[in-house]
Structure 1
C-alpha cells in the first residue's frame, strides 16, 4: 500500500509539473504575441510619420491629391461602364466621389478594392481570378501588384498600404489599372469641343435711339483719333454725324486690343463741334423736322446701332497656358537646382535603400526559417500533449483503488476455496485409507480361514 501511495504521488507530481510547463509555454506565447503587436504598432507609427514627412516635402496640397485622383478614377470607371459590368454582378452599391479617399469601413473598402482591381485587370486583357471574401489578403495584394508591374507601372510603396482599403496608394493602383483597361479597349482622349454660343441681338426701342446715337458718335470720335478718317454726312433732324450707308467702320487691329481715349484729339473735336453748333442752337428753338422722315431715318440707321459682344476664350486659354508653362519651367529649374545641391544626400539615400532591401531579404529568409521551425515546434507540442494525456490516464488508473480491492477479494475467495479443497482431500484420503484397511483385514481373514482346513487335513 505504501508503494502504491508513493507511485500515485509521483504521478500527481508529474501531472502538476506538466500543467506548470503548459502554463509557462502559454505565458511565453502571450509575451511573444505582445512583442509582435508592439513591433507592428511601432512600424505603423513609423509609416505614418514617413507619410507625413513625404506630404510635407511634396507641399501643402499633397494631402488633397488623393481626392483629385479619386474623382479622376471615378470618371474612368464610368467610361468603362463599371456599374453594369462589375457592381451589378456582385450586387454592390455605386462608389461615391471620395470612397477610397476617406476611411469608412476598411473591410468593405478592401473587398471593393480587390473586386475592382480584378475586374480592371481582366478588362486590360490579363486573366485574373476573382478574389473571394475568405482568401488570404496578402496573396491577393501580391498578385495585384505583380500584374501592375507587368503593365510597366512603378510600385514604390509597401504592400501593407493596400490592406487598409483606402488612401492614395489604393487610388493610384486602381487609376493605373483603369488607364490600362481604357488603352486595351481602344479608348483615346480627345481635345474638348467648346460649344458655339449664339449671340442674342439686342433690340433698341425708339426711346433709346437718341441716346444710342449719341454714344455711337462718341465712339466714332475716339476711333477717329486712332484710325483712318471716315467720310461723314449730316442726318437731317437727328443733330448727329453718322457714316453713310455704303461706308464701313475700319476693323480693329486685334480682338484683344483695348480702346484708349486720346484726350487731345477729343478736346479739339469737342471745341470745333461747339463752334459749329453755336448758330444751330438758335435754329433748334423752332423745329422743322418731319415726323415721317424722322421715323424712316431711324429705321434706316437702327440696324447699324446694334452692338454685339463676342466672348472669346482663346485669349484667356493662351494666357493661362503661358502662365502654366512659365510656372512649370520655374519648377523644373528649381528641381534641378535642388537635385544638384542634394546629390550626395541622394546617393546616401540610395545606398541606404540598397542596404534596407538586403536587410529585408535576409529578414524574409529568416522569417521563412522561423515559420518552418514554428511548424516543427507545433508538431512536437502536439506529440507532447498526447504523451501527457496518456500519462495522465495511466496515472489516474494507477491511483484508482477499485482494481486492488477486487484482487484482494479474489485472493480471499481463493484461500477459502483452497481450505475447502484441503478438507475435501483429507476426507477423501481418510475414506480411502479406511477402505484399504478394511480390504486388508478381509484379505487376512480369508487367508486365515483357508489355512485352518489344510492343518486339519494333515492331522487326520
Structure 2
C-alpha cells in the first residue's frame, strides 16, 4: 500500500501577506535600480559619507533612528530632484514636523498615499518603500532621461587568418633554387645520383653511400636554407591541446613547489600551535591570579549600580519638589500682583473724579433735552393753532355759500 502524501493547508491571510512581502521586496530592488540611474552614490551618499544601501534596508528594521533619518534625507533629495524645494532635514528636528513637510510636498507632486505618519516615522516598511518608489519615478520623469534602444551585438564568425610569413617552408621554391644552384656547376661530380647506389637485395639496406659533394658548397647551401626552414605556429586559445599543456605545466610547478611549501606550512603550524598553547596557559594563570580582583570588581560594580539607582530615585523626588516649588512661587506672584492692584485702586481717587465728571455731563445733557422738548412743544402748539385757523376759515366760507 502506498502512503498518502500529507496535505498542506495554507491560510489565505498568510498567503496574501507573503505575496505582498514579495511584491515590496521586488519594489525595493526596483528602487535601488532607479537610485543608481539617478546617480545617488555620488550626489547623495558622497555628502553623507555612507555606504550604499542594500536591497533589504527599508524592509527589515535594524536601526530605527538611522533608517528614519536616511529615509527623510532621501525623500527630501528625491523631492528636490523632482523640481520642488524642501528644507534639509536634521537629526535635531521634530520627526512629526519632518514627516508633515514631506507629505505636503508629496501631495503637491500629485502622489496619492494613504498611510498614517506613524508608519513613516518608523523609517521602514511597505509605505516607506512605496513612497520612495513613487518619488523616484517622478524624479526620473523630471530629469528627462532618454532610454536608447537595446542593440544586440552581431555575432561574427571568426575567420582563420593565414599568416603570410616568409619563414614558412616552400618546397617548390627550395627545389628550384637547389636545381638552379646545381645547374650552374659545370662539374657533374657534385650531383647526388640515386642510381649509383648498389642495392644487392630489396630486403637489405645499402651499407655505404658515396657522395661526391664539396663540403664548402654544402655548408653554404645549408646556411642559406636553414633560415627558411623556420615554422611559426599561431597559438589558439580555444585549442584543448594548449589547455592540456598549461595544465601539465601547472601540475609540474605545483609538484615542484609543494614539498617546500608543505614543510614551511608544517613548521608555521607548529609555531602557531606552540604560541597558542603558551597564550592559553598564560590566560589560565592570569584568570587564577585575577579571580579575586575580578570578584571585587564585580561587587564594586554592583554597589555602583545600586548607588546610581538611589541617586536617580532621590534626584527624581528633588526634581518633582522643585517643580511644585516653582508652581507655588508662580501662584504667590499672581496673588501679590492682585493685592497690589486692589490696594492701588482703593487709595486712588481717580474713580470718584470720573464719577463726578460723568454726573455733570449727564446733568448738562438733561438740560439740553429739556430745551429741545420746550422747542418741540412750541412748534407743536403753533402747528395746532395754524390748523385750527385753517379749519375755521373753511367753515366760514362754506356757511356763506
Q: TM-score, normalised on structure 2?
A: 0.36
Q: TM-score, normalised on structure 1?
A: 0.32
